[in-house]
């Protein structure tokens, strides 16, 4: 049976600022086809506004349009496909923005975050069973965003896109575990596997970067240097566990890091999707240090490195996608840590918004006036 609901549909890439005026996202009634046997229908509780969404809106990482936006979300299962027996209606779930098939080479080697089948389906704007389940009321095809499109009242998604969570967790706020927390904390504890006593620099303090600060504190880093262009974000970083905060605008920022760490950090994390941040990260790691990049820049961005320096100082550069997480293992684990007070990700949530404030919300994100806003598409305007 087809479901009709509201969704945030992107029809224009690179619209002029402010978005509150140009409205690149239109709130439209769309039709959702019934889930196939390996899919679920989910009523959305929360969807986070993330820089990865913004990079599609502003054209840094363009996608074919029309596109129903949203890749970080949570909700309640309404219907399950006939082939699914381990998820039930009423279950609370967090989405992972790269579905896992469980059978490809990457999945079977324990790296579901880079599932080969999911990559192909996402690139085509569809789900792994083939095609899109979203259409405009006139029948026009609309692509899925990262196999989710969760800035909607309902979403049809692959079984491999959901992780069942503890129902005591506030469901709308759980959305941040599907991207910001998984990517930032995961980059620190999974990709880098930092140890107690390590020195760490986190460059770029959005939701992912501040989650990286929380992860470094959780893992026992001795020195956690937070770096960003905005002083307001530096203050937040200090409040959630950074030991030092430096402004990237300072001409001597690199020297300040070296002075604080007697030559450089063991690990630098680029979590903002900036080539300049990559350059800084490489410059501040010490002999034998590692630069981990988890931020997604514009598609045209390149980063150059001196090969002699790379080899002679035995430095490492690593990419981290979805924090190298196994979501079915890590999302419940991170939620438990939050519930124990050891991973206070609620400090990163600015508040809940409705559809009327969605375009303006991306202005706030672009202007560094917000860290994580949560769209609650099924809440009444007053409640949102």
Query: What does the mean pLDDT of the chain come to?
Result: 96
Cβ 206 vs Cβ 52: under 8 Å: no
pLDDT at 44 over 60: yes
* pLDDT tens profile 68-119: 999 999 999 999 999 999 999 999 999 999 898 889 999 999 999 999 999 9
Give the pLDDT score at 107. 93
3-state secondary structure of 334: helix
Token pair listed for 268 = 């630098």
Give the pLDDT score at 304. 93
Q: What is the pTM of this model?
A: 0.95
Give the pLDDT score at 384. 52
Cβ 179 vs Cβ 374: under 8 Å: no
Map tokens 């998820």 to a residue: 87
Average pLDDT over residues 196-224: 98
State the pLDDT confidence band at 381, using cuts at 50, 70 and 90: low
b (16+ CB within 10 A) / e for 60-70: bbbbebbbbbb
3-state secondary structure of 134: strand
pLDDT at 368 over 70: yes
Tell me how far apart the alpha carbons of residues 84 and 82 are, in angstroms, rounded to a whole number.
6
pLDDT at 382 over 70: no
Which part of the chain has CATH 3.40.50.720? 183-320
Token pair listed for 332 = 């419940």
Residue 177 contacts by C-beta under 8 Å, 6 or more apart in sequence? 74, 94, 165, 331, 334, 335, 338, 345
Average pLDDT over residues 206-235: 97
Residue 92 contacts by C-beta under 8 Å, 6 or more apart in sequence? 45, 74, 75, 76, 77, 164, 165, 166, 167, 169, 171, 174
Tell me the fold of 3-178+325-375. Quinone Oxidoreductase; Chain A, domain 1 (3.90.180)
b (16+ CB within 10 A) / e for 254-292: bebbbebbeebbbbbbbbbbbbebbbbbbebbbeebbbb
Token pair listed for 236 = 């937040």
Q: In the CATH hierarchy, which top-level class contains the domain 183-320?
A: alpha beta
Average pLDDT over residues 325-353: 97
Give how far the C-alpha of residue 215 lies from the chain's centroid of Cα atoms, to the nearest Å.
15
Strands 154-158 and 285-293: unpaired
Which part of the chain has CATH 3.90.180.10? 3-178+325-375
Give the pLDDT score at 191. 98
CA-atom Rg of the chain in angstroms:
20
Strands 265-270 and 67-68: unpaired
pLDDT at 3 over 60: yes
Average pLDDT over residues 307-325: 96
* pLDDT tens profile 5-36: 999 999 999 999 999 999 999 999 999 999 99
Tell me how far apart the alpha carbons of residues 264 and 159 are, in angstroms, rounded to a whole number.
44
State the pLDDT confidence band at 321, using cuts at 50, 70 and 90: very high
pLDDT at 380 over 70: no
Beta bridge pairs of residue 353 = 375
Question: Helices in the chain by DSSP H: which ranges?
Answer: 19-22, 51-57, 105-108, 116-123, 180-186, 207-219, 231-239, 253-261, 275-284, 307-312, 327-339, 358-366
Cβ 44 vs Cβ 377: under 8 Å: yes
Determine how many CB atoms are found less than 10 A away from the CB of residue 322. 24
Token pair listed for 258 = 């070296």
* pLDDT tens profile 237-291: 999 999 999 999 999 999 999 999 999 999 999 999 999 999 999 999 999 999 9
Residue 1 contacts by C-beta under 8 Å, 6 or more apart in sequence? 34
State the pLDDT confidence band at 126, using cuts at 50, 70 and 90: very high
DSSP assignment string, 6-64 = EEEEE--TTPPSPHHHH--EEEEEEEEPPP-TTEEEEEEEEEE--HHHHHHHTTSS---
Give the pLDDT score at 176. 98
Residue 160 contacts by C-beta under 8 Å, 6 or more apart in sequence? 96, 99, 100, 101, 102, 112, 115, 118, 128
Give the pLDDT score at 86. 96
Token pair listed for 287 = 């002999």
Give how far the C-alpha of residue 206 lies from the chain's centroid of Cα atoms, to the nearest Å.
10
* pLDDT tens profile 157-208: 999 999 999 999 999 999 999 999 999 999 999 999 999 999 999 999 999 9
């Amino acid at each position: 049976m087809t479901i009709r609901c509201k969704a945030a549909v992107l029809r224009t890439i690179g619209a002029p600022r402010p978005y509150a005026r140009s409205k690149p996202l239109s709130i439209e009634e769309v039709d959702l086809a019934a889930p196939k046997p390996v899919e679920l229908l989910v009523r959305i509780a929360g969807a986070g506004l993330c820089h990865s969404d913004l990079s599609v809106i502003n054209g840094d990482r363009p996608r074919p349009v029309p596109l129903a936006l949203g890749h970080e979300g949570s909700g309640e299962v309404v219907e399950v496909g006939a082939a699914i027996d381990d998820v039930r209606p009423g279950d609370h779930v967090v989405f992972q923005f790269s579905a896992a098939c469980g059978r490809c080479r990457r999945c079977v080697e324990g790296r579901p975050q880079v599932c080969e089948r999911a990559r192909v389906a996402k690139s085509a704007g569809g789900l792994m069973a083939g095609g899109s389940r979203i259409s405009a009321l006139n029948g026009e095809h609309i692509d899925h965003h990262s196999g989710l499109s969760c800035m909607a009242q309902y979403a049809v998604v692959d079984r491999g896109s959901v992780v069942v969570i503890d129902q005591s967790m506030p469901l709308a706020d759980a959305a941040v575990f599907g991207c910001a927390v998984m990517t930032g904390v995961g980059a620190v504890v999974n990709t880098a596997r930092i140890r107690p006593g390590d020195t760490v620099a986190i460059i770029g303090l959005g939701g992912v970067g501040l989650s990286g600060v929380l992860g470094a504190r959780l893992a026992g880093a001795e020195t956690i240097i937070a770096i960003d262009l905005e002083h307001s974000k530096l203050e937040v970083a200090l409040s959630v566990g950074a030991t030092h905060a430096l402004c990237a605008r300072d001409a001597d920022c690199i020297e300040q890091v070296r002075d604080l760490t007697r030559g450089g950090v063991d690990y630098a994390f680029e979590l903002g999707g900036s080539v300049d941040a990559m350059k800084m990260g490489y410059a501040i790691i010490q002999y034998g240090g590692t630069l981990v990049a988890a931020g997604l820049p514009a598609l045209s961005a390149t980063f150059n490195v001196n090969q002699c320096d790379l080899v002679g100082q035995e430095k490492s550069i690593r990419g981290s996608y979805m924090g190298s997480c196994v979501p079915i293992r890590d999302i419940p684990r991170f939620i438990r840590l939050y519930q124990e007070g050891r991973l206070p990700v609620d400090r990163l949530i600015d508040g809940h918004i409705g559809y009327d404030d969605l375009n303006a919300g991306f202005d706030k994100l672009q202007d560094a006036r917000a860290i994580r806003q949560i769209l609650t598409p099924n809440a009444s305007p007053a409640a949102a």
